[in-house]
Each structure stands twice: as structure tokens, then as C-alpha cells.
Amino acid sequence: MEIERKFLVRELPKDLEQYPHSELEQGYLVRKGATVRIRRDGDRYILTIKKKPKDVTDRKTLELMRIEIEEEIDEDLFQRLSAYTETPMLCKTRYRIPYGDYTIELDLYHGVLEGLATAEIEFPSVAEALVAEIPDWFGRDVSSDHRYKNSNLSELTSLESLD
């Protein structure tokens, strides 16, 4: 189970290059209902399936929670599946920034989304996600704004499309 909150970034942290980071490339094979994604993260290749849980009725909980299955795949399968993505590949640099007991995943997008920066934090419970203190450099919480889901971002042709 994945429980996370996603934020726009108001200001980038100082000395960003000190944090571990990698270049990500991801594409979506299915974006309706369950999301099926392929991702290259450095020299790792991952197939991910995400779906909202059926047994959760609380709307706020449902916005933060996803069933997630991840499996490593090889580069050959990644390349073959790349031909079947529904939208262009999404490219971004991901920084992994320690924050107390958590890790912030800061994504700086490239290509048509150049200039967009988002930050996500995964939590062990919905209760913790709802009360956790967030860094000052975070902006608006977009956890429930479907426009900022990566599967939707992948179909945009410009940042202006988000307005």
C-alpha cells in the first residue's frame, strides 16, 4: 500500500546537488482504472501497477492511498514495452532528500514540463500523512489534484496546459 502526499515546490532547497539523484524516464501503458507504468531509474527498469483500493470509502483517505505492485524488469522488456505507451515518455530528475523519518522525492521535470517541480512524501499511515509537518519550501498540496498525477502530466504539451 502506498500512502503519499504531493506538493508543488515554492523554492528549491539550497545545495541540491549534495543529495542522491537520478534521471527518470517513465511511460504509461494504461492510465484509466489501474495505472500501469514502466520506468527507467538510472540503470534500473521497473514495471509498476497502481490502483485505488476498493474497500476504502473515506474520500480523503482514498486520495492519499494506492495499492502498488512493483517488479524489476530488464532493459529489453522496458524497450519493447516503450513502443506501447499511451503518451510520450515523461522525463525528470529525482532528488532523494532526507527529512526526519521520511524521504522527500523532489522531481524536476524536463522537456515540455521544464520548470515544474513537485515533491512527494510517503507515509506509513493516512493519519500520519494528515498531520505531518512539511518543509517551508513546499508550496500548494496537490495530492488530490488529478492534473498533477504523472500519468496526466505525461499527456501535456506545455506547462500552460495546467492552468
Query: Alpha-carbon distance 73 to 7, whole Å?
Result: 29
Catalytic residue among 28, 45, 95, 109: 28
Burial of residue 124, with CB atoms counted within 10 A of its CB: 0-12 exposed, 13-18 middle, 19 or more buried = exposed
Tell me if residue 102 is catalytic: no
Longest dimension (CA), the chain: 43
- The Cα-based distances of 34 to 37, 69, 85, 88, 145 in angstroms read 10, 11, 14, 19, 17
Residue with cell 529525482: 94
Catalytic residues: 28
